[in-house]
């Protein structure tokens, strides 16, 4: 405190104030910590040190959040995040998204929390921080666990566990294993949970905070107790007690004594149960006093916030009165300046004359623009016609010629049965490709000619996905490819049913086309704010870097042979991109040669769901 008061220059004073604030925060005296953080912030703002000012804002926001003032904490976090974004400091930006994710989680605003933690994950990955990348994955899993989305939580935790093993960080590995155990315990799978808790204990380094280890041992004891292993549960609780005391966490110590009392009572060890219960009762007074102090501090913060809001309202009224006085003064000046009416009239005449000239010039320019637009449209339609004729002449002649040749051989009776079977199967596949070509070709032509109108309606996307995978199942089975549907929950979007069917069919068919035998094609969906993001992921050959700018048809239709020498038209992805954008979404992809590709597109989430049968809505399309 003396260093903060007696510092002779701004940097020293700011550092001293920050140190005092952190000391109070460690003691959980947040009301006393906030003024010191604010003082340190003022020093850095005065000296225009943007980096340190943004860092102190994070500390100030954390103290405000601990006070219970989430509104102020959010504003402080956003100001710091904006500063780090301007400074292009990736670590600062990622930390801001992480703090916002924790804040939204405390308010049960799950979509905002997930989005913030996803942005933190992406930013930490860009910054190359392996440890924080694992932490971000754990944070995303925690949000899913709070919503009881256990499969999604386990997916992110398994990613975090693999990354922690690569990073060879025992702390990260132990914390991730603990989180996995908590998910399984929430699913009431106690045996599996115990296995992960035990692995976590062996992986945690000696420097791990004693409070964290105490919580882990308490969870492990709860799992053993639930399966009737009371002796082992008692041993873990006894191990947790000194660690909780060392962490000076009265709430943890009280909870452990309560668990011990209940455990001893069930084992008819009443003297030990009574002793643990007495310890629990003694600690409850201290815990209650601590909670009451926190509640008083929160009420005080709310009172000060409301007081400041009232002051702002009074200031707003004062400004309105001042504005009214200014208007009266302006009216008086207008009355005094009536003598200038003649000059104003002349100015108006000149202004109207110039405006008429500008309007005429504008009309001429607009006509030129319209003529150029018509010329561009004619050129585009001409290119569309040329592309259409090129596809028809090149890709339709071959299968029709093969069909004609086979019919000629049949008429002549010169085709043995075994060769007939081979050629029939080959011709069947060729006709399937031709039908797909005609479907895409007709839809693409209609879209290019402006004849395909979008008819958005609430669409159950999970049923469309199931329908598409069932339709293409035979193609996948012929190549030995596994189709995985991760869209198990109802997903309702606002889009054109037929367009989305075509988009999904083309993306899944493409994934099958470029995936070798024993590969997988996975369809999944997740919410992104007011949108749904749908992904089609394959384990196929991937897309070469040289072809990535061609697949959406910027330089005309582009096609590549599949893993089984399947042919394409080059129009499917071009049509998918057009239809997704017509429905208010975006289509993008990620690919790695030899590892596979992921195509993702977004669609607006439906705000209202029609009160009709789901099957009826799909069948109507």
* DSSP letters for 413-482: T---HHHHHHHHHHHHHHHHHHHHHHHHHHHHHHHHTT-----EEEEEHHHHHHHHHHHTHHHHHHHT-E
Residue-wise pLDDT for 593-619, tens only, equals 888 999 999 999 987 544 444 544 444
Q: Are 438 and 461 part of one and the same domain?
A: no
Sorting pLDDT into bands at 50, 70 and 90, what band is 322? confident
Sorting pLDDT into bands at 50, 70 and 90, what band is 431? low
- Yes or no: say if 265 and 273 are a contact pair by the CB < 8 Å rule: yes
Q: Are 439 and 480 part of one and the same domain?
A: no
Query: Looking at residue 360, what is its pLDDT?
Result: 87
Q: How far apart are CA 98 and CA 81, in angstroms?
A: 10
- Number of independent structural domains in the chain: 3
Q: Is the pLDDT of residue 524 over 50?
A: yes
Q: Are 375 and 489 part of one and the same domain?
A: no
Query: Looking at residue 297, what is its pLDDT?
Result: 55
Q: Is the pLDDT of residue 395 over 60?
A: no
* Domain around 535: 454-620
Helix, strand or coil for residue 204? coil
Q: Of 136, 140, 162, 218, nearest to 185 (Cα)? A: 218
Q: Are 360 and 465 part of one and the same domain?
A: no
Three-state secondary structure along 115-165? Answer: HHHHHHHHHHHHHCCHHHHHHHHHHHHHHHHHCCCHHHHHHHHHHHHHHHH
Which CATH number belongs to the domain containing residue 17 in this structure? 1.25.40.10
Query: Looking at residue 520, what is its pLDDT?
Result: 95
Q: How far apart are CA 445 and CA 575, in angstroms?
A: 10
Pairing between β-strand 587-592 and β-strand 596-604 as defined by DSSP bridges: antiparallel
Q: Which residues pair with 524 in a beta bridge?
A: 535
User: What mean pLDDT do residues 202-212 have?
Assistant: 83
**pTM of full prediction above 0.75:** no
Has residue 154 been placed in a domain? no
Q: Is the pLDDT of residue 312 over 80?
A: no
List C-alpha distances in Å: 63 to 4, 67, 80, 290, 416: 19, 6, 14, 17, 86
Q: Are 393 and 468 part of one and the same domain?
A: no
Query: Looking at residue 291, what is its pLDDT?
Result: 53
Has residue 284 been placed in a domain? no
Q: Is the pLDDT of residue 391 over 70?
A: no
Query: What do you get for the CA distance between the two ends of the chain, in Å?
Result: 73
Q: Are 468 and 604 part of one and the same domain?
A: yes
Q: Are 537 and 604 part of one and the same domain?
A: yes
495 sits in which H/E element: strand 492-496
Query: Looking at residue 55, what is its pLDDT?
Result: 92
Alpha carbon 96 to chain centroid, angstroms: 16
Query: Looking at residue 619, what is its pLDDT?
Result: 40
pLDDT averaged over every residue in the chain:
81
Q: Are 425 and 464 part of one and the same domain?
A: no
Q: Of 454, 450, 452, 534, nearest to 491 (Cα)? A: 534
Which pair of tokens denotes residue 485?
A: 């549907």
Sorting pLDDT into bands at 50, 70 and 90, what band is 201? confident
Q: Are 518 and 585 part of one and the same domain?
A: yes
Q: Are 433 and 477 part of one and the same domain?
A: no
Query: Looking at residue 613, what is its pLDDT?
Result: 42
Q: How far apart are CA 86 and CA 98, in angstroms?
A: 18
User: What mean pLDDT do residues 339-364 have?
Assistant: 87
Pairing between β-strand 482-485 and β-strand 520-528 as defined by DSSP bridges: parallel
Has residue 67 been placed in a domain? yes
Q: Are 614 and 475 part of one and the same domain?
A: yes
Query: Looking at residue 608, what is its pLDDT?
Result: 54
Which domain-ending residue is among 398, 427, 445? 445
Which pair of tokens denotes residue 381?
A: 């339609």
User: What mean pLDDT do residues 309-322 have?
Assistant: 80
User: What mean pLDDT do residues 310-337 have?
Assistant: 84
User: What mean pLDDT do residues 7-19 have?
Assistant: 79
Query: Looking at residue 615, what is its pLDDT?
Result: 47
Has residue 37 been placed in a domain? yes
Which pair of tokens denotes residue 511?
A: 């994934």
Query: Looking at residue 420, what is its pLDDT?
Result: 64
Higher-confidence residue: 587 or 230? Answer: 587
- Give the range with max mean pLDDT: 87-91, 277-281, 571-575: 87-91
Which domain-ending residue is among 54, 88, 122? 88
Sorting pLDDT into bands at 50, 70 and 90, what band is 306? low
Which CATH number belongs to the domain containing residue 571 in this structure? 3.30.565.10
Q: How far apart are CA 433 and CA 128, in angstroms?
A: 45
Which domain-ending residue is among 416, 445, 474? 445
What is the arrangement of strands in the sheet containing 531-538, beginning at the earlier edge strand? 482-485, 520-528, 531-538, 596-604, 587-592
Residue-wise pLDDT for 148-194, tens only, equals 999 999 999 999 988 888 888 888 888 888 899 889 988 988 888 88
Q: Are 425 and 542 part of one and the same domain?
A: no
Range with the poorest average pLDDT among 2-16, 226-240, 531-545: 2-16
Query: Looking at residue 384, what is its pLDDT?
Result: 59
Query: Looking at residue 618, what is its pLDDT?
Result: 42
Which pair of tokens denotes residue 45?
A: 């703002």
Has residue 495 been placed in a domain? yes
Which pair of tokens denotes residue 245?
A: 């005391």
User: What mean pLDDT do residues 470-477 have?
Assistant: 86
Query: Looking at residue 419, what is its pLDDT?
Result: 67
Q: Of 213, 140, 141, nearest to 171 (Cα)? A: 213
Q: How far apart are CA 205 and CA 149, in angstroms?
A: 30
Q: Is the pLDDT of residue 426 over 60?
A: no
Query: Looking at residue 258, what is its pLDDT?
Result: 86
Phi-psi region of 481 (alpha: psi -120 to 50; beta: other; left: phi over 0): beta
Which pair of tokens denotes residue 581?
A: 């954008």
Q: Is the pLDDT of residue 301 over 70?
A: no
Q: How far apart are CA 112 and CA 147, in angstroms?
A: 13
């Amino acid at each position: 405190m003396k260093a903060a008061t007696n510092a002779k220059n701004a940097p020293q004073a700011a550092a001293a104030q920050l140190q005092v604030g952190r000391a109070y925060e460690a003691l959980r005296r947040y009301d006393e910590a906030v003024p010191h953080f604010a003082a340190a912030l003022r020093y850095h703002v005065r000296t225009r040190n943007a980096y340190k000012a943004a860092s102190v804002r994070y500390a100030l926001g954390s103290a405000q959040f601990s006070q219970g003032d989430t509104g102020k904490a959010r504003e402080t976090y956003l100001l710091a995040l904006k500063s780090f974004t301007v400074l292009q400091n990736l670590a600062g930006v990622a930390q801001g998204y992480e703090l916002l994710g924790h804040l939204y989680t405390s308010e049960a605003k799950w979509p905002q929390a997930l989005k913030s933690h996803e942005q933190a994950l992406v930013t930490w990955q860009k910054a190359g921080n392996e440890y924080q990348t694992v932490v971000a994955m754990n944070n995303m899993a925690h949000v899913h666990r709070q919503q009881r989305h256990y499969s999604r939580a386990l997916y992110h935790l398994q990613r975090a566990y693999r990354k922690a093993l690569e990073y060879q960080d025992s702390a990260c590995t132990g914390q991730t294993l603990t989180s996995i155990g908590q998910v399984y315990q929430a699913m009431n799978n106690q045996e599996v949970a115990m296995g992960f808790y035990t692995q976590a204990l062996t992986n945690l380094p000696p420097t791990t905070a004693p409070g964290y280890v105490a919580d882990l041992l308490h969870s492990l004891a709860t799992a053993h107790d639930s399966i009737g292993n009371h002796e082992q549960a008692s041993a873990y609780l006894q191990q947790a007690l000194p660690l909780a005391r060392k962490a000076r966490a009265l709430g943890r110590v009280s909870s452990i004594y309560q668990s011990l009392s209940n455990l001893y009572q069930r084992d008819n060890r009443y003297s030990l149960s009574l002793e643990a219960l007495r310890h629990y009762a003694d600690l409850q007074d201290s815990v209650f006093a601590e909670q009451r102090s926190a509640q008083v501090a929160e009420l005080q913060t709310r009172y000060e916030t409301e007081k400041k809001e009232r002051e702002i309202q009074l200031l707003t009224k004062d400004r309105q009165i001042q504005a009214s006085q200014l208007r009266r003064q302006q009216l008086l000046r207008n009355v005094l300046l009536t003598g200038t009416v003649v000059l104003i009239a002349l100015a108006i005449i000149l202004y109207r004359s110039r405006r008429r000239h500008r309007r005429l010039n504008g009309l001429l320019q607009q006509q030129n623009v319209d003529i150029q637009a018509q010329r561009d449209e004619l050129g585009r339609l001409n290119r569309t016609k040329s592309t259409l004729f090129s596809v028809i002449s090149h890709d339709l002649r071959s299968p029709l010629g093969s069909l004609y040749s086979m019919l000629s051989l049949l008429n002549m009776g010169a085709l043995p049965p075994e060769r007939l079977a081979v050629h029939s199967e080959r011709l069947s596949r060729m006709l399937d490709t031709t039908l797909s070509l005609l479907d895409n070709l007709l839809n693409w032509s209609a879209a290019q000619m402006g004849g395909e109108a979008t008819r958005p309606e609430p669409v159950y996307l999970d049923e469309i996905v199931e329908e598409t995978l069932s339709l293409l199942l035979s193609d996948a089975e012929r190549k030995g490819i596994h189709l995985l549907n991760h869209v198990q929950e109802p997903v309702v979007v606002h889009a054109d049913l037929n367009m989305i069917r075509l988009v999904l069919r083309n993306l899944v068919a493409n994934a099958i086309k470029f995936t070798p035998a024993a590969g997988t094609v996975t369809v999944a969906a997740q919410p992104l704010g007011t949108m749904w993001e749908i992904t089609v992921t394959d384990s196929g050959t991937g897309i070469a870097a040289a072809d990535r700018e061609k697949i959406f048809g910027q330089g005309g239709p582009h096609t590549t042979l599949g893993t089984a020498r399947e042919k394409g038209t080059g129009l499917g992805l071009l049509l998918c991109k057009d239809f997704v954008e017509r429905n208010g979404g975006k289509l993008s992809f990620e690919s790695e040669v030899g590892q596979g590709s992921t195509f993702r597109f977004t669609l607006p989430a439906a705000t209202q769901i029609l009160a009709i049968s789901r099957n009826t809505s799909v069948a109507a399309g």
